Amino acid sequence: MAFAHSQNSRDVRHDLETHLRAVAGLAAQYAGKFAAADLGYWAGLWHDLGKFHPAFQAYLANPVGARGPDHKRAGAILASKYANSLAFLIAGHHGGLQDREALKGWLRGKPGDTASEEALAIARSEVSGVEPVCSPCFPP
């Protein structure tokens, strides 16, 4: 089981899949007011996919240790396959939005950095329905 956060003050840890689905539900509800419930759902589901990476899980277990890989890039990479606007949202959910060129460079990452792809592989194996079954899924 992967976790979304380190232990809180009551020594409770939040399951990552539960967190992702809860955020997806809330985001769909809020975005539904703008006729964008599907986009909200996927943005919420994908926003923390990088937390599946073992190095990020190790960081959550020992927050004074190494920080772990970027937890946003994996979900933003996945979003960029379906709706670029969601990649912007996910990339900016801690720290603000980037311009298009900065986002493209950030999505590519550093040469040899495979953490995002590793996190996506784990997420695909652990979270049923992590990718939409459609083509195309969203309007351009």
Q: Could you tell me the residue ranges of all domains in the chain?
A: 16-126
Whole-number pLDDT of residue 94: 64
The whole-angstrom separation of Cα 119 and Cα 25 is 22
pLDDT score, position 61: 87
pLDDT in tens, the chain (140 residues): 898 877 676 777 889 999 999 999 999 999 999 999 999 999 999 999 999 999 999 998 887 877 777 889 999 999 999 888 899 889 876 666 677 788 788 788 888 889 999 999 999 999 999 999 876 677 65
Residues 48 and 16 sit within 8 Å (Cβ to Cβ):
yes
| Nearest one of 46, 112, 57, 56 to 80, comparing CA atoms | 46
Query: Tell me, what's the pLDDT at 96?
Result: 64
Do residues 69 and 50 lie in contact, with contact meaning Cβ atoms separated by under 8 Å? yes
pTM over 0.75: yes
Q: Residue 11: phi, psi to the nearest 5?
A: 60, 30
Alpha-carbon distance 20 to 34, whole Å?
21
